[in-house]
């Protein structure tokens, strides 16, 4: 199997640590002098750039969190003048404000490089047709895969998400060999292909690169079985760069992290102490080469484990397990991030409704579904079906407008939603990961 | 002439109506009329009972969403033309009927009406010499 960048991807551990230390020094210097937020945080901790010499000094630095990005919305953490920024992407945030990320020309080039590694590790080459069925736009999925595909010289089909019948038609007519989308959409497509009557032999699909949401080994087997392809897990988050942070190779034994660009640590989410190699905990990233939005010890909230052994494929880059869950209450619905607090803030804006709710997440026909049960307040209850219906519709519209997700609203009797001391149970996730 | 009807919000799940009636039954509340308006997911149970205030408190204690709604009741012969006439009188006065239900006793119909304006509806029906029932009349039926 090909390796895109043998120099870095197969570098020995001492070599990689040397590269990481050097790049960390540069990054810390850059953020200290260009981002007031980081300078203040470092000064509060009594640190200057001279205190960070090797990668082992990283643990001295404070963490960065999603709320820190939000507090500096939209561009407060950018480390270059806006004239150097050539692209911005954004993902949904907790209070209606999106998380904004910016890229310099070099960042786009880095992103293309790590995506080229990702696609190559999935077995893709210049001879492939890559059908990019991730959404194009503010979401990083579509354009991330797109640039990586072009970088390796493959033929990229920028079809974006949705429109299943056209996906299937082009897959057949163009002879797509690589499919890139969310794993749940891959399963949905698999079933649509079966129903369409198209024979598997009419398709040239060989491999899929799937990410942007959690999925299980069972789902992988189902996708591989139904589509008769190899299903490769890829990982990324827009704050760090987008897709391209880590990806599986054809051996499917963990995801290789591009650690010459993104340095991973595993911490205990409660004590915030760095855990020894092999422990399960929260994944934290420090970007080592990013110019637009460098991040120091960014808490991803994803739970996983790191393995430093050399992989059968020859790569030495550290591997992470498939993410096991989250250390916060964020849900990922059809690739969109959702915090229950976002739902709550929509409810609080409507005086007719008390914010007693229960959010039920399920997966029906391989697509995530959301149902919101909300209690009818006696002060509002007025004996008219039409009034209750219009209230339900209004809430449903408000939720869709502010969250970008379709949520089915059901009105329920009061007090059926369990009240508990402290934090009540607001979410039931019936999906099996 | 104003009658206080109990309106109770119910989810469409089995056993809920039974629970309402059991709560009222324990305190010997009598039911003169009952009607249900429903959608796929929820319904509104409407009841005319002997002691509406007491019934409301009993149900509230059991965590039901319940309100008292003002309705009026007319007694007329149980032929369709009489029901039609009542509705015509109201529509001629631009009073809309939000909902109505009825039951028969002998050859008489007891008609319950929820109108956009209760006072105006009473006036209009009286001026046409319709026989309006008081709450105390209804509870005796």
Q: Is A421 on the interface with B (CB under 8 A)?
A: no
Cβ contacts below 8 Å, chain A against chain B, sum to 47
List pLDDT tens digits, range B27-81: 999 999 999 998 888 999 999 999 999 999 999 999 899 999 999 999 999 999 9
Residue B36 belongs to domain with CATH number:
3.30.2130.10
The region of weakest confidence among A90-99, A251-260, B10-19 is: A90-99
Instruction: Specify whether B56 is located in the same domain as B88.
Output: no
Same domain assignment for residues B15 and B58? yes
Nearest CA to A65 out of A246, A282, A234 is that of: A282
Residue ranges of A 368-397 with Cβ closer than 8 A to chain B = 376-378, 381-385, 388-389
Judge if B32 and B77 occupy the same domain.
no
Q: Is A337 buried (19+), middle (13-18) or exposed (0-12) by CB count in 10 A?
A: buried
Residues B64 and B78 in one domain: no
Among A372, A377, A380, A383, pick the best mutation site for testing chain B contact (most B Cβ within 10 A): A383
Residues in B closer than 8 angstroms to A378, CB to CB, are 60, 65-67
Higher pLDDT, A346 or B100: B100
The rounded mean pLDDT for chain B is: 93
The token pair at A67 is: 């709320």
Chain A residues lying within 8 Å of B98, measured CB to CB: 384
Instruction: Check whether residue B118 and residue B63 sit in a common domain.
Output: no
Measure CB to CB from residue B98 to each of A384, A413, A416 and give the nearest one. A384
- Give the pLDDT score at A24: 98
Residue of A377, A383, A415 with shortest CB distance to B63: A415
Domain boundary, last residue among B11, B35, B68: B68
Residue A64 DSSP code: B
pLDDT at A334: 81
pLDDT at A288 over 70: yes
Query: Is omega for the bond preceding A74 within 30 degrees of 0, making it cis?
Result: yes
- A383 and B10: CB-CB below 8 Å? no
Domains of chain A, each with CATH number or no CATH:
6-328 (3.40.50.12780), 336-429 (3.30.300.30)
Measure CB to CB from residue B11 to each of A383, A389, A412 and give the nearest one. A412
Cβ separation B63–A412 shorter than 8 A = no
Q: Which residues of A touch B44 (CB under 8 A)?
A: 383-385, 388
Last residue of a domain, one of B68, B97, B115: B68
Please count the other Cβ atoms lying within 10 Å of the Cβ belonging to residue A316: 20
The pLDDT of residue A423 is above 50: no
Residue of B nearest to A389 (CA): B39
Residue A372 structure tokens: 């919101």
Question: Does residue B85 or residue A421 have the better pLDDT?
Answer: B85
**B16 interaction partners in chain A (CB closer than 8 Å):** 413
Confidence of residue A206 (pLDDT cuts 50, 70, 90): very high
- Which 2-21 residues of chain B touch chain A by CB within 8 A? 7, 9-11, 16
User: Is A378:B66 a contact under the CB 8 Å cutoff?
Assistant: yes
Per-residue model confidence (pLDDT) at position A214:
79
Is residue B119's pLDDT more than 70?
A: yes
| pLDDT (mean) for A176-195 | 92
Identify the closest residue of chain A to B99 by CA–CA distance: A384
Residue A327 main-chain phi, psi, to 5 deg:
-100, 10
Q: What is the DSSP letter of B24?
A: H
Shortest Cα distance from B28 to chain A (angstroms)? 25
Span A318-325, average pLDDT: 90
B132 and B84, same domain (yes or no):
yes
Q: CA of B71: which chain A residue's CA is closest? A: A383
B79 plus B135 within the same structural domain: yes
Exposure class string for A59-71: b at 16+ Cβ within 10 A, else e: eebebbbbebbbe
Looking at the predicted structure, is the pLDDT value of residue A14 above 90? Answer: yes
What percentage of chain A exceeds 70 in pLDDT?
96
CA distance A191 to A185: 10
Residues B86, B118: one domain?
yes
Higher pLDDT, A412 or A114: A114
Are residues B114 and A381, on separate chains, in Cβ contact within 8 Å?
Answer: no
Question: Mutation test of the interface with chain A: which of B17, B39, B41, choosing the one with the most A Cβ atoms within 10 A?
Answer: B41
Question: What pLDDT score does A421 carry?
Answer: 44
CB contact under 8 A, A413 and B65: yes
CA A259 to chain centre: 17
Q: Which whole-number Å values give the CA distances from B141 to A313, B20, B100, in the listed order?
A: 87, 21, 18
pLDDT, tens digit, 9 for 90 and up, residues A26-42? 999 999 999 999 999 99
Work out the mean pLDDT of chain A and round it to a whole number.
Answer: 92
Between A432 and A161, whose confidence is greater? Answer: A161
Residues of A within 8 A of B46 (CB-CB) are: 383
B39 touches chain A (CB under 8 A): yes
Mean pLDDT of A65-69: 93
A142 pLDDT more than 90: yes
- CB contact under 8 Å between A385 and B64, yes or no, is no
pLDDT at A72: 95
Q: Which chain A residue is nearest to residue B12, measuring alpha carbons?
A: A412
A376 and B9 within 8 Å at the Cβ level: the answer is yes
Per-residue model confidence (pLDDT) at position A92: 65
How high is the pLDDT of residue A430?
87
pLDDT attached to residue A422: 42
Please indicate, yes or no, whether residues B58 and B12 belong to a single structural domain of this protein.
Answer: yes
Q: Residues of B with CB below 8 A from A389's CB?
A: 39
For range A98-103, the mean pLDDT? 94
For A132-146, the DSSP string reads E-SPPSSSHHHHHHH
Of A389, A410, A413, the CB nearest to B9: A413
Q: Check pLDDT > 80 for residue A95.
A: no
Query: For residues B47 and B37, is the Cβ–Cβ distance under 8 A?
Result: no
CA distance A262 to A27: 11
Same-domain pairing of B90 and B31: no
Q: Do A382 and B9 touch (CB under 8 A)?
A: no
Q: What percent of chain A is predicted at pLDDT more than 90?
A: 71
Tell me which chain A residues have a C-beta less than 8 angstroms from the C-beta of B10.
413
Say yes or no: B58 and B103 in one domain. Answer: no
Instruction: Report pLDDT digits (tens) over A229-279.
Output: 999 999 999 999 999 999 999 999 999 999 999 999 999 999 999 999 999
Residue A96 has pLDDT above 70, yes or no: no
When divided into structural domains, chain B yields a total of: 2
Given a cut of 80, is residue A428 above it in pLDDT? yes
Q: How far is A400 from chain B (nearest CA, A)?
A: 20
**Do B24 and B76 sit in the same domain of this protein?**
no
**What is the ipTM, given to two decimal places?**
0.80
User: In the listed set B68, B94, B117, which residue is the last one of a domain according to the structure?
Assistant: B68
Q: What is the pLDDT of residue B72?
A: 96
Which domain range does residue B37 map to?
3-68
Residues of B in contact with A376 (CB under 8 A): 9, 65
Kindly determine whether residue B65 and residue A414, on different chains, have CB atoms separated by under 8 Å: yes
């Amino acid at each position: 199997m090909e390796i895109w960048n043998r120099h870095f991807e197969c570098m020995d551990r001492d070599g990689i640590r040397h590269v990481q230390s050097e790049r960390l020094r540069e990054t810390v210097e850059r953020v200290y002098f260009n981002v007031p937020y980081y300078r203040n945080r470092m000064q509060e901790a009594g640190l200057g750039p001279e205190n960070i010499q090797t990668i082992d000094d990283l643990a001295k630095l404070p963490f960065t969190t999603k709320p820190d990005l939000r507090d500096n919305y939209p561009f407060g953490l950018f480390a270059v003048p806006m004239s150097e920024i050539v692209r911005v992407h954004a993902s949904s945030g907790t209070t209606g404000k999106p998380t904004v990320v910016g890229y310099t020309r070099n960042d786009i080039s880095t992103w293309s490089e790590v995506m080229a590694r990702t696609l190559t590790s999935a077995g893709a080459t210049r001879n492939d047709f890559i059908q990019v069925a991730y959404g194009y736009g503010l979401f990083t999925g579509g354009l991330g895969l797109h640039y990586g595909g072009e970088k390796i010289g493959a033929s990229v089909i920028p079809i974006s998400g949705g429109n299943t019948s056209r996906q299937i038609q082009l897959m057949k007519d163009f002879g797509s060999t690589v499919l890139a989308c969310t794993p749940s959409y891959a399963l949905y497509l698999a079933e649509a292909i079966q129903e369409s009557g198209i024979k598997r032999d009419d398709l040239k699909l060989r491999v899929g690169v799937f990410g942007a949401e959690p999925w299980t080994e069972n789902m992988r087997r189902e996708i591989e079985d139904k589509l008769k392809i190899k299903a490769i897990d890829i990982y990324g988050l827009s704050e760090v760069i987008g897709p391209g942070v880590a990806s599986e190779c054809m051996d499917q034994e963990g995801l290789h992290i591009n650690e010459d660009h993104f340095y991973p640590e595993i911490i205990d989410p409660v004590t915030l102490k760095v855990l020894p190699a092999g422990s399960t905990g929260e994944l934290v990233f420090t970007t080592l080469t990013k110019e637009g939005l460098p991040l120091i010890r960014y808490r991803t909230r994803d739970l996983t484990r790191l393995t430093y052994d050399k992989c059968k494929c020859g790569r030495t880059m550290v591997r992470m397990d498939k993410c096991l869950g989250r250390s916060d209450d964020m849900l990922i619905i059809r690739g969109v991030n959702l915090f229950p607090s976002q739902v709550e803030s929509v409810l609080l804006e409507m005086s007719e409704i008390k914010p007693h709710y229960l959010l039920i997440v399920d997966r029906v026909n391989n697509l995530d579904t959301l149902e919101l049960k909300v209690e009818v307040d006696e002060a509002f209850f007025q004996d008219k079906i039409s009034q209750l219906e219009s209230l339900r519709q209004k809430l449903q519209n408000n939720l869709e407008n502010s969250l970008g997700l379709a949520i089915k609203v059901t009105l329920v009797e009061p007090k059926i939603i369990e009240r508990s001391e402290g934090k009540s149970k607001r979410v039931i996730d019936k999906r099996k990961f | 002439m104003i009658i206080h009807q109990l309106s109770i919000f119910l989810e469409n799940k089995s056993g809920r109506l039974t629970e309402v009636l059991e709560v009222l039954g324990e305190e010997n509340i009598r039911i003169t009329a009952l009607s249900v308006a429903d959608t796929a997911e929820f319904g509104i149970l409407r009841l005319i009972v002997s002691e509406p205030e007491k019934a409301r408190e009993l149900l509230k204690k059991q965590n039901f969403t319940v309100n008292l709604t003002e309705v009026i009741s007319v007694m007329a012969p149980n032929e369709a033309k009489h029901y039609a006439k009542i509705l015509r009188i109201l529509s001629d006065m631009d009073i809309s009927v939000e909902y109505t239900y009825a039951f028969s006793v002998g050859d008489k119909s007891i008609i319950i009406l929820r109108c956009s304006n209760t006072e105006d509806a009473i006036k209009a029906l009286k001026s046409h010499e319709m026989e309006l029932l008081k709450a105390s009349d209804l509870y005796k039926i």
